[in-house]
Amino acid sequence: MEVAEGVSAATPTEEMNGAGNLMDFLDEPFPDVSTYEDFHTIDWLREKSRDTDRHRKITSKSKESLWELIKSLLDAWSGWVVMLLIGLLSGTLAGVIDLAVDWMTDLKEGVCLSAFWYSHEQCCWTSNETTFDDRDKCPQWQKWAELMTGHAEVELPAFSGSGAYVLNYFLYILWALLFSFLAVSLVRVFAPYACGSGIPEIKTILSGFIIRGYLGKWTLLIKTVTLVLAVSSGLSLGKEGPLVHVACCCGNLFCSLFSKYSKNEGKRREVLSAAAAAGVSVAFGAPIGGVLFSLEEVSYYFPLKTLWRSFFAALVAAFTLRSINPFGNSRLVLFYVEYHTPWYMAELVPFILLGVFGGLWGTLFIRANIAWCRRRKTTQLGKYPVLEVIAVTGITALLAYPNPYTRRSTSELISELFNDCGALESSQLCDYVNNPNMSRPVDDIPDRPAGPGVYNALWQLTLALIFKIVITIFTFGMKIPSGLFIPSMAVGAIAGRIVGIAVEQMAYHHHDWIIFKNWCRPGADCVTPGLYAMVGAAACLGGVTRMTVSLVVIMFELTGGLEYIVPLMAAAVTSKWVADAFGKEGIYESHILLNGYPYLDVRDEFTHRTLATDVMRPRRNDPPLAVLTQDSTTVEDVETLIKDTDYNGFPVVVSRESERLIGFVQRRDLTLAIKNARQKQDGVVSSSVVYFTEDAPQLPASNPQPLKLRRILNLSPFTVTDHTPMETVVDIFRKLGLRQCLVTRSGRLLGIITKKDVLRHMAQMMNQDPESIMFN
Amino acid sequence: MEVAEGVSAATPTEEMNGAGNLMDFLDEPFPDVSTYEDFHTIDWLREKSRDTDRHRKITSKSKESLWELIKSLLDAWSGWVVMLLIGLLSGTLAGVIDLAVDWMTDLKEGVCLSAFWYSHEQCCWTSNETTFDDRDKCPQWQKWAELMTGHAEVELPAFSGSGAYVLNYFLYILWALLFSFLAVSLVRVFAPYACGSGIPEIKTILSGFIIRGYLGKWTLLIKTVTLVLAVSSGLSLGKEGPLVHVACCCGNLFCSLFSKYSKNEGKRREVLSAAAAAGVSVAFGAPIGGVLFSLEEVSYYFPLKTLWRSFFAALVAAFTLRSINPFGNSRLVLFYVEYHTPWYMAELVPFILLGVFGGLWGTLFIRANIAWCRRRKTTQLGKYPVLEVIAVTGITALLAYPNPYTRRSTSELISELFNDCGALESSQLCDYVNNPNMSRPVDDIPDRPAGPGVYNALWQLTLALIFKIVITIFTFGMKIPSGLFIPSMAVGAIAGRIVGIAVEQMAYHHHDWIIFKNWCRPGADCVTPGLYAMVGAAACLGGVTRMTVSLVVIMFELTGGLEYIVPLMAAAVTSKWVADAFGKEGIYESHILLNGYPYLDVRDEFTHRTLATDVMRPRRNDPPLAVLTQDSTTVEDVETLIKDTDYNGFPVVVSRESERLIGFVQRRDLTLAIKNARQKQDGVVSSSVVYFTEDAPQLPASNPQPLKLRRILNLSPFTVTDHTPMETVVDIFRKLGLRQCLVTRSGRLLGIITKKDVLRHMAQMMNQDPESIMFN
């Protein structure tokens, strides 16, 4: 079945000649003519053609019987079923990951006596005797040192040097090392593809590249488990990027249930695009943002049907996650925030400054991280991935424990930084000097002078900022699952909160300054430091990933109001412009380039004046193009050609003299057809003539029986003239998803351009090493 | 300048040969070779090529001097400037329209004594003496009858027959007739393109069609004025669709400020896509929904850059509108709603039923409206547009006045239907029998039995529903600006509210029934009729327009919470499926078909097995294709060809015998080039040979001087082979935005396929009349 579909797409006229003829092909037992090899590019037009054929077949059959009609309806519905399943599974996995990370992160510090599988928060919820204030100090939760020494001590301040502190510190590092060792070992042994964030590879796969196993069941299982371990180990990484990979693995898994998706690489990619949306949806609790992320950042071919289905998958995933309720607050979003005061025009200045910071951080991070990853690839360093992970984990744990802002999990940190200081807030960051006259616990608290806690927190945050900036550069790209969203946001949120507190204190102490006079009366609540943290987080995330609309929409879904879109947008735009000034590629594109994947970015504008003739092969001094003639090549010639070259296909011309193109034949099809004919068809020997025409050529009677191969010939190969500007060729490759394109002049075949040639030419034009494009 | 850009795109090799050669072209004074004629299709690839050329020129110049650098920066920023201007102007216009409609709608009933330019609401705001309860009965506001008879009567109940009532009724109709007469006259005299919703035409224009004046200044002005008149006249139409047209006119207006956009039809369409987003953004106060509407519903070519810019324009427009604050409540959205209770799983049944209703309404409306519009086009009816508008207005006003739900403006009606009945609500719809035990004015009011007011309202709503359904069919498509969003939403909201009240009363009176038992205890607030109204509105809007994601997102932005997305989505999906079962086209596509515009819908799947050879011209018995040869046609031959045919261009072949294709030349370029040469170039006479090769052909010395036309030759025409399946051809036309495509076999030219041929073939395959496609 599969074979016939693949082949018939290329030669529909023959199918039209009669159903009998068609049936012949259906019966022929070619195993998998139409599948692609690993690390090769797919041909989108061909996949689309095959799907239309399949659809046509089902439609015409559906009129035959009720059973076929039901089957056709099931087929039409399978897309929605796959989306539902993806939503359910990715939502469930995200919930499980959240719960497990919560528990294991707390396990590094202590254990719940009433039930060891409870996290700190859950443990203290269940103990009834605690009030709100000492929620964190319930008797059921015991730190390791307390448990071991057998008596509950008063918690000691940082750097105290007491025995219990040192013991806790030591055990914290030990747990971290254990988790990360387990993670890196599992990845190395069972699923090497489970490392990294996965987004660069998913982008490449969605653009039409085959990486077998990258979205397999093993990868799914190992990535889920090791993601929990990696995040729990306290390394500076997030689970958001890998969740996209996990969701795509779910998508791929469910594709295999339906032949519509499993046998068509184009259709499969539609499902994967939707799965990516579901991944972001559960990562942030932002379904619309997820769909836009998939549209803007990862997808390549995104028809409207996919938009609608992605939205469905993203919603199902978000609601599944909410019904699991891992955050224990019925909230969908990762960081729920609610601010009580509007922002003022003058605040745009610090917001834009945060945007500049985000852009600079993005540039710095991308350059440093790529340099480090290149070093890892090219030097001895890459040979000891386990040691590297252990070392980085050790350093991270050692430096992180003493500082309360780095000791806790990064998402908790971001959550606290985003928060507005309410009246009941007990955190150090909210240690303001209260006005004695004000006793009502209202939301709208006026600006107050900072207390010693805030100043202390500022110092610790500054140290945390430097630590996070440095350690993230070395963490991203190690052989464990590691996302970049959370560390980037943390850097931005810390910087933003510091700026926010500074502005707030300035406004309080100097409200007679001209810049504050108009909007900040004494006793008013005019500056929300939490909003600055949010703007900073958006700026830094934007600088690293170069997301724009989806970033703003994700942030909008977190706050749930249009009120704060302008500050977010100002920061995101500034950050993108600043970062783009230093280099167009975001972190994902940079990693794609580093790995040499054949990715044709839709955002790159090709503006050079080269023509197709400058890019096509053969070049001026190369040997002529390897072609087949329509009726004068022998089986042996073909076999020699296949052996001597490694091209993916060969053009077929009328004759070597006229060089008039009649079609294109895939290497894989040719190999299989000849192997098959040699085995099953009598009279086919090495000297048999291979012909691609309708009728056999006139040959002397003494010649062996010729072999007709018209059915594997693509009679509609894509051609451009040699005068076509490369910008048009690039556009055609991008929009039609071509694998190769033949170059002609006045109907004569001159050469061929493959996707690799296009990418190499683009690299060359941008003064990059064309040899960095490695795959075809 | 413009000429050279258009031409040089086609022949970049020559440009590469030397800048001197290039300068020759630049100096040649062809007035406007590269513009298109009215009612013609643009060539997207060519427009893109021209823009790249322009960009290259600016980039290379920018290195020459500081001034050029500044100019290039300004050019790079012009896109953002245009977006800002569009946002500001369309936001302002939307605000002005809102204010004017408010005032004029109330003018039909009475006048504000203190300031005649105040609407009813504004008038009663300013009078300090009123309390909340009798807000609507302030002394400053006088009905016409009161004013005329000179004493304030107590308001009379409907159908009373008192003199004042009849007088008010009469004046209401008179005002309505005056407004609609003014509207239709202004449209007829000054801007015939200002009628209708404009969205079908904008979709067509964005897909690459030229309709001169459709987005012109006059259209903008007249549409804005007549929109106010039409909405105020009380006809069953909305301002949302026309606002998209108004925003696109703004976009077009600002395009003319920058040659980057005014001289490139492709770039212009990017701006228009963004403007459409701004239009929806101000219509509903939903910027994200607006961008998705533009992406899903109207746009054709929507690169990521446009996504980001659309978002910017939509936000600016929304904030401009908010700062004008026409609704007087600082809210951004048209219908702000806040519900206090969640929905329950069991409620999905009525929601899905509402979806079915929406789908059926969509189908009924589209069929009936198209039938009526066709009748208008083909019979005498179409000749009396003014009379038609007057008649429909008269009937509408006559029937609408007695019913309080149709008398008021439709958006007020929808607003009331969406509202949850709070404790302070005084409307008839909220006339529930209060529990005497419950005195606290809380939000969370338990379900109560309906009072007489509710039953009365139900009857009036049923009459209003029937009235709206019938009258909207006759209203949409008349020669005045008329949107469809609001009437559709009104139909759905009425139906939804009726269903909602029915479910609520069932749940109250039969809370022991098994279906209510699990979720609706007595005394609980379990059913929100307002939510049903909202779901119904979404379902009906979806049924008519077939919007999906954008519809849900717009509704999401109205409620501001993810809570109610599932009901909305269930209804929208059901409605789309039900409506699609009866016919794939939404109302806009149906009107495009009705008008015969050349619109290649991205959503239509072409699944037939035809080949390029079946579609190309010349057909089997036609005369051969009109071609030019590269070096043997004379000027006279060319002139005869141009006179005898009306093709937009001609292929150029090596010779008539070999028929090997070398390029394609536009009719317009050819006409201008020959006219120009005859005027300015000595020795060019009728018998001069025209040649397209690099070098002049060898001719006897006696022959007149030949004319070189290589620079107008497109050396990279798009070709497909005759065996290419039409599904691929359709795909190529769609994705690359081609105007025509040449068909070859083994390098020989066989025929040509234009966009019109493709559309006619598609119509034929769908058993529609191929002659309905009228434009090229």
| Mutation choice for B interface testing from A22, A48, A288, A319 by most B CBs within 10 A | A288
Separation between Cα atoms, residue A706 and residue B492, nearest integer Å: 69
CA distances from B677 to A655, B4, B637, B673, B683 (A): 42, 16, 15, 6, 9
Distance of CA A720 to the CA centre of its chain: 34
Task: Determine how β-strand B748-754 pairs with β-strand B740-745.
Answer: antiparallel
Out of A741-750, B435-444, B468-477, B649-658, pick the least confident: B435-444
Largest CA distance in chain A: 114
Residues 6 or more apart whose Cβ sits within 8 Å of residue B469:
B361, B364, B365, B491
In order of B629, B646, B686, the CA distances from B690 in angstroms are 9, 20, 10
Of residues B424 and B772, more confidently modeled = B772
Task: Give the whole-angstrom CA distance, residue B484 versus residue B237.
Answer: 6
Contacts of A131 (CB under 8 A, 6+ apart): none
**Contacts of B365 by beta carbon, 8 Å cutoff, 6+ apart:** B469, B472, B473, B488, B543, B544, B587
Distance CA A233, CA A397 (A): 8
Residues of A in contact with B553 (CB under 8 A): 288
CA distance B150 to B167: 13
- Alpha-helix runs per DSSP H in B108-143: 120-126
**Gap between the Cα atoms of A503 and B598, Å rounded:** 58
Question: Is A731's CB within 8 Å of B660's CB?
Answer: no
- Contact pairs from chain A to chain B, CB under 8 Å: 173
**d(Cα A44, Cα A301) in Å, to the nearest integer?**
9
- pLDDT of B482 reads 92
**By 3-state DSSP, what share of chain A in percent is helix, strand and coil, each rounded to 5?**
60, 5, 35
Q: Which residues of A touch B724 (CB under 8 A)?
A: 715-716
pLDDT value of residue A126: 59
Residue B16 has a pLDDT of 38
Please report the domains of chain A, with CATH numbers, ordered by start residue: 76-324 (1.10.3080.10), 345-384+445-593 (1.10.3080.10), 612-772 (3.10.580.20)
Of A552, A565, A662, the CB nearest to B746: A662
For tokens 């069932």, what's the residue?
B506
Instruction: Find, in chain B, the residue whose alpha carbon is nearest to that of A59.
Output: B607
| B22 pLDDT more than 80 | no
Strands A649-653 and A628-629: parallel
d(CA B234, CA B109): 11
A484: exposed, middle or buried (Cβ count in 10 Å: 0-12, 13-18, 19+): buried
Amino acid at position B769, single letter: D
CA-based radius of gyration for chain B: 31
**CA distance to A199, B586, B594, B728, per residue, from B364 (Å):** 46, 11, 17, 34
Q: Classify strands A707-708 and A689-691 as parallel, antiparallel or unpaired.
A: parallel
Contact at CB, A723 and B56, closer than 8 angstroms? no
Residues of chain A with pLDDT under 70: 1-35, 126-137, 150-161, 326-334, 422-426, 434-447, 523, 559-562, 776
Question: Apex CA B373: angle with CA B391 and CA B382, to 5°?
Answer: 55
Per-residue CA distances from B503 to A379, B449, B529 (Å): 71, 12, 8
User: Three-state SS across B284-302?
Assistant: HCCHHHHHHHHHHHHCCCC
Q: What's the pLDDT score for residue B305? A: 84
Residue B644 burial (C-beta neighbours within 10 Å; 0-12, 13-18, 19+):
exposed
Q: Which of B548, B561, B603 sits opposite A560 (nearest CB)?
A: B561
How crowded is residue A29: how many other Cβ atoms within 10 Å of its Cβ? 7
- Residue pair B684/B704 in contact by the 8 Å Cβ criterion: yes
- Among the listed ranges A206-215, A525-534, B205-214, B508-517, which one has the minimum average pLDDT value? B508-517
Mutation choice for A interface testing from B331, B549, B551, B713 by most A CBs within 10 A: B549
CB-nearest partner of B304 from A296, A552, A556: A296
Percent above pLDDT 90 for chain B: 37
The conformation of residue B450, written as its DSSP 8-state character, comes to B
ipTM: 0.85
How many CB atoms sit inside 10 A of residue A678's CB?
Answer: 15
A728 in B contact zone (CB under 8 Å): yes
| Of residues B371 and B437, more confidently modeled | B371
Confidence (pLDDT) at B349: 92
Closest partner residue to A13 (CB to CB) among B304, B549, B611 is B611
The tokens for B413 are: 């009606």
- Order of strands, sheet of B649-653, starting from the edge strand that comes earlier in the sequence: B628-629, B649-653, B661-666, B713-714
Predicted pLDDT of residue B571: 93
- Residue whose token pair is 């009011």: B445
Q: What was the pLDDT predicted at A360? A: 96
Q: What is the pLDDT of residue A4?
A: 35
A608 to chain B: nearest residue by CA? B56
d(CA B51, CA B489): 42
Pick B744's closest partner by Cβ from A288, A308, A747: A747
What whole-number distance in Å separates Cα of residue B656 and Cα of residue B90? Answer: 56
Q: Which of A10, A751, A743, A660 is nearest to B745 (CA)?
A: A660
Q: Which helix (H) or strand (E) holds B666?
A: strand B661-666
A242 near A232, Cβ under 8 Å?
no
Q: First CA to last CA across chain A, in angstroms?
A: 27
3-class DSSP state for residue A300?
A: coil
**pLDDT at residue B261 in the model:** 92
What's the pLDDT at A532? 94
Region of residue A696 (phi > 0: left; psi between -120 and 50: alpha; otherwise: beta): beta
Residue B472: which pLDDT band, with cuts at 50, 70 and 90?
Answer: very high
Residue A41 has a pLDDT of 87
- Alpha-carbon distance of B533 to B638, in angstroms, equals 66
Kindly report the backbone phi and psi dihedral angles of residue A301, in degrees, each rounded to the nearest multiple of 5, phi listed first.
-115, 110
Nearest of A181, A155, A182 to residue A168 by alpha carbon:
A155
Is residue A284 within 8 angstroms of chain B, CB to CB? Answer: no
Alpha-carbon gap, residue B220 to A380, rounded angstroms: 68
Q: What is the pLDDT of residues B102-156, one digit of tens each?
A: 899 988 888 888 878 888 877 777 555 444 444 456 777 888 877 777 654 454 4
B562 with A287: Cβ contact below 8 A: yes
Structure tokens at A474: 């070395």
Residues 583-602 of A with CB under 8 A from B: 602
Nearest CB among A56, A548, A549 relative to B607 is that of: A56
Q: What is the pTM of this model?
A: 0.88
Residue A215 to residue A198: CA distance in whole angstroms: 10
| B607/A319 touch (CB, cutoff 8 Å), yes or no | no
Contact check, Cβ <8 Å, B716/A728: yes
> Is B84 part of the contact surface with chain A (CB cutoff 8 Å)?
no
CA distances from B148 to B164, B168, B171, B579, B713 (A): 9, 10, 11, 51, 76
Backbone angles phi, psi at B621, to 5 degrees: -100, 10
Q: Does the beta carbon of A748 lie under 8 angstroms from any beta carbon of chain B?
A: yes
- Interfacial A residues in 41-60 facing B (CB < 8 Å): 45, 48-49, 52, 55-56, 59
Supply the DSSP symbol for A383: G
pLDDT tens column, A719-755 = 999 999 998 999 899 888 888 999 998 888 999 999 9
- Which pLDDT score, from 0 to 100, does residue A15 have? 37
Of B55, B291, B725, the CB nearest to A49: B725
Residue A421 C-alpha, separation from nearest chain B C-alpha, in angstroms: 24
pLDDT of residue B119: 82
Residue A204 near residue A300 (C-beta atoms within 8 A): no
User: Closest Cα partner for A571 from A528, A526, A541?
Assistant: A541
Asked if the C-beta of B340 comes within 8 angstroms of chain A's C-beta atoms, the answer is no
| C-alpha torsion sign, points A503, A509, A510, A511 | positive
Nearest to A98 by CA among A274, A265, A227: A227
**Any chain A CB within 8 A of the CB of B62?**
no
